[in-house]
Amino acid sequence: MRRVLAIVATLVLLPASAAVGAELDELLEESREASYSAEQVITCSTPDGVRDAVIELSQTSGELHLGAAVHPDVEVASGSGGWTLVREGSVISSANVQGAVDEAEARYAVDEGADIDYLGREATIYRMTGDGVVRAELVFDMEIGALLRVVTFNANGSVYCERRFVTFDPNAPEPEESESAAGEPAEADVESDLPVTLGEFERLDVYRDEEGFLFAYYSDGFFSFAVFQIPAVLTLDDASIVTLAERVYRRSFGPGQVTYAWESRSGGMALVGDLPPDMHEEVLAGLPAPQDPGLLRRLWRSLFG
Amino acid sequence: MTHAGELISAYLDGELGRAEIDQLLDHLDGCGRCAAEMQDVQRVRSAVRSLPLLELPPGLIPEADAEVIPLHRNKGFLVGAAAAVVALVIAVAAIVTPSATPVSLEELNSRYAARASLDPAFGPAKVVVPYLSDFLE
C-alpha cells in the first residue's frame, strides 16, 4: 500500500532550445508543452540489483510537478535561467545560469518512428541511436505529444531503465502557486580544474555555492551527470564497494540514478547521474583518482574528526 | 577490491554503514596487506591515545613541596615540554580548522536535480527520485 506523497518539488522547465538531434529536440519540446497528470513506474536493472519506484507527475503550462521528494525537506524551483534550493524557508543553494548554460553537441538521432497503441491511446515509438547503438526507445502520445514511456539501454542492448506511465490523464489539474525564493545566486561559470570533456560528455557549466559545494554538470545530449568536489566525505548508507579500472569506489544505485563517492587528495568527490552502467568506467577514469589520504590525515581525522 | 586504505580509515572513524562494514571485513579476511594496514593504523591510534599526562614542572606552584632541578639536568622535562608544545599546536589547529561534517546524498541529489531540470532532455525521462522508499510502504 502506498502512502500519499507530498508535493515538495516544483520543477519549472525552461523554454526548449537546441540540443539533441533536430527531430528528437522537437519531440521533447512538444512533450514539455503537453498538459497531463500521470503515474509513472520506474524500474532499473543495475549491477547491484533492481531499483524501482512509483511517482506521480502532473504537467501544465510548462511546469512539471513531482508527487515525490528529491529530499523531504528541500524544495527545488527552477526556470527563467536559474534554480534555487530552499530548506525550511531558507535558500541553501541557487544559481543564475542565464547565458551561461551551454548545451551538449548532438550525439543521438531518432528514427522515423512507428505507430503503436499505448494505454489505449495512439502513440509513436522512436528509437534513439548514438554511435550505431540503440540507447533509448521513446513513446510519445500522438494527440498531445506527452512522453509516455522511455526505455534506456546498455551498450550490449540490455535494458538499463524503463520509465512508463501506468495511468495517464490529459486533463491536468491547475498547479499550486509557488513563491519564488530570494537569494544571492551562485555563478555558473566559476573556475574549475574538472575536465572539459569526459568521454562523450561535455562539461556544460560549473557552480560553487555558499555551502562549499563545487560541482560541474556534464551531458551528452540525453544522459547527464554532475561531478562534485565537496568539503567532506559523502555518506552512502547502502553503498557497495566496486573496483573500476583498478580504482575503488563506493557506489549506490537509485531508481534511474547512480552515485559514486570517493576520496581524492583534494578532498571528497562524488558523481551523481543517470548514465547507464557501461558508461561509468570511462567517465570515472577522467576524474581525480581515489587516493589514500595518508597516515597523518587519517590520524588527524581519528583524533579530531 | 584492490586496496581499501580509504575505507579502513572510514571504518575506524565510524563512518561506514553496515553493508560497507560487512564488505570491508570480508575483504580483510582475504587481503593480508589491507589487514596489516588496519592493524598499523589501530596501533598508532592506541599509542597516541595512551600517551601519559604531563605533570606540572616543579616550582610552577610556589606552595608545592618540590625539589627544583635545573632544566639542563632534567631531560625528561625538556621532552615533556616539547610534547606539550606539539600538542598545543595541534589543538590550536584543530580549533581553527573547520570540522568536516559528512555530506549527505540528499544534498548532492538536490543540486543535481535542480540543474538537470534545465536540461533539454528533462521531463518524465529524467526525473530524479532517489528516495521513494521513504515514502512507500
Helix (H, G, I), strand (E, B) or coil at A254: strand
Helix (H) or strand (E) holding B81: helix B75-96
Q: Are B121 and B91 in a shared domain?
A: no
The whole-angstrom separation of Cα B35 and Cα A62 is 56
The three cell numbers of residue A191 are 573556475
The whole-angstrom separation of Cα A176 and Cα A47 is 39
- Local confidence pLDDT in tens for the 137 residues of chain B: 567 777 887 887 777 878 888 888 888 888 888 888 888 888 777 777 777 777 666 666 666 555 555 655 567 777 888 888 887 776 666 555 544 567 788 778 878 877 777 776 777 777 665 444 343 33
Domain presence at residue B125: yes
The total number of structural domains in chain A stands at 2
Domain that holds residue B83: 1-54+76-102
Last residue of a domain, one of A112, A137, A169: A169
Last residue of a domain, one of A122, A138, A169: A169
Contact A29, A9 (CB under 8 A): no
Domain presence at residue A77: yes
Q: Are A138 and A191 in a shared domain?
A: no
Helix (H) or strand (E) holding A296: helix A295-304
- 3-class DSSP string for B11-60: HHCCCCCHHHHHHHHHHHHHCHHHHHHHHHHHHHHHHHHCCCCCCCCCCC
Domain presence at residue A178: no
Domain presence at residue A76: yes
- Local confidence pLDDT in tens for the 305 residues of chain A: 333 333 333 444 433 333 344 478 788 888 888 889 888 888 899 999 988 888 787 887 766 776 654 455 555 555 545 556 555 666 655 655 544 445 556 688 899 899 999 999 999 999 999 989 999 999 999 999 999 999 999 999 999 999 989 999 998 666 555 544 444 555 566 777 889 999 889 998 888 877 778 889 998 888 999 999 987 778 887 889 999 988 999 999 988 889 999 988 777 899 999 999 999 999 999 999 998 766 666 556 555 54
Measure in Å the smallest separation between the Cα of B107 and chain A Cα atoms: 8
- Adjacent-strand bridge partners of A168: A38
Q: Are A23 and A154 in a shared domain?
A: yes
Q: Are B80 and B114 in a shared domain?
A: no
The whole-angstrom separation of Cα A77 and Cα A86 is 8
Domain presence at residue A180: no
- Best A63, A65, A103, A248 member to test B by mutation, with max B CBs in 10 Å, is A248
Contact B5, B27 (CB under 8 A): no
- Adjacent-strand bridge partners of B134: none
Collect all residues of chain A within an 8 Å Cβ-Cβ radius of residue B10: 233
Hey, are the CB atoms on B118 and A274 less than 8 Å from each other? no
Helix (H, G, I), strand (E, B) or coil at A158: coil
Domain presence at residue B20: yes
The whole-angstrom separation of Cα A163 and Cα A149 is 6
For residue A221, give the CATH number of its domain: 3.40.1000
Domain that holds residue A243: 186-304
What's the complex ipTM?
0.74
Q: Are B21 and B1 in a shared domain?
A: yes
Collect all residues of chain B within an 8 Å Cβ-Cβ radius of residue A70: 106, 109-110, 113, 128-130
Collect all residues of chain B within an 8 Å Cβ-Cβ radius of residue A64: 117, 122-123, 127
